[in-house]
Amino acid sequence: MREGTVFDIKKFATHDGPGIRTTVFLKGCALDCWWCHNPESKNSEIEKNHSGGHLEKSFIGENYSVSRLFNEIIKDEIFFEESRGGVTFSGGEAMLQVDFLQELLKKCKFHGLHTAVDTSGYCPQENFVKILPYTDLFLYDIKIMDPVLHQKYTGKSNELILTNFEYLISRNANIQIRIPLIPRFTDNETNLSAIKTFLKPFRPLIDIELIPYNKLGESKIRRYTDKLENLQTQSKKRLQELRDFFEI
Ligand code: SF4
């Protein structure tokens, strides 16, 4: 049976798709965002945990077989049913372990669970082809529209991400766009206007969710530079202005 590397499992998640969900974080990510709050999820290998706290696990990441992970997910089936929730695969970048992910999604669909995949969109298009039939919802990140700035702040151009998004649209996938609001980096007028313009033709087909900047976990940011100092969570007023701007 195929194995995959899991970074974390969060039960009773309420922000990763509809209802109550179990969110499974798979390890490994091809991007290198300056603001990443989970830098230990980026490396696809299991790593020794050097943080030293005796409550911490000795290793970051754990190998799971498809059946062991599925058994963990299905334990909360009753909560999924009652809340119209399900399971969400996130990361790192879940799409990088695509064969493992595909088997899990198939198994979850076979048992009638609602499935969501939270993705940066940065992976070969064939990976989307593999999982599309078993994925009820894609939570799809759009971060920065300018390809040069995207390259600078995430380590990769956004060309593949935008092409994969258009592929999913062409296949009538159910998509919710997620925009992480990182002050100055993504949350600036030029960028948000460019995202709005890009999404306009698809707007009746997709939902947009704005993800406010989360100061918690800031201490884990590896690339802590003066540019990342003093970033503030968006105020309620600013969030409402942005919701109005995107007509959410
Ligand atoms: S895509 Fe997500 S997990 Fe990957 S580096 Fe960026 S913030 Fe971190």
Sign of CA dihedral 91, 101, 116, 24: negative
Q: Domain boundaries in the chain?
A: 3-246
Tell me what the mean pLDDT of segment 133-149 comes to.
98
Q: Which residues line ligand 1 (CB under 6 A)?
A: 29, 31-33, 36, 38, 41-42, 91-93, 120
Instruction: Summarize pLDDT for 179-230 with one digit per residue, the tens.
Output: 999 999 999 999 999 999 999 999 988 999 999 998 877 777 765 566 777 8
Instruction: Summarize pLDDT for 48-84 with one digit per residue, the tens.
Output: 887 766 667 788 899 999 999 999 999 999 999 999 9
Fold of 3-246: TIM Barrel (3.20.20)
Atom of ligand 1 nearest to the CA of 41: 3
Instruction: Summarize pLDDT for 166-187 with one digit per residue, the tens.
Output: 999 999 999 999 999 999 999 9
Q: What is the pTM of this model?
A: 0.95
Buried b (16+ CB within 10 A) or exposed e, 182-198: bbebbbeeebbeebbee
Site to probe by mutation for ligand 1, drawn from 27, 97, 120 as the one with most ligand atoms within 8 Å of Cβ, is 120
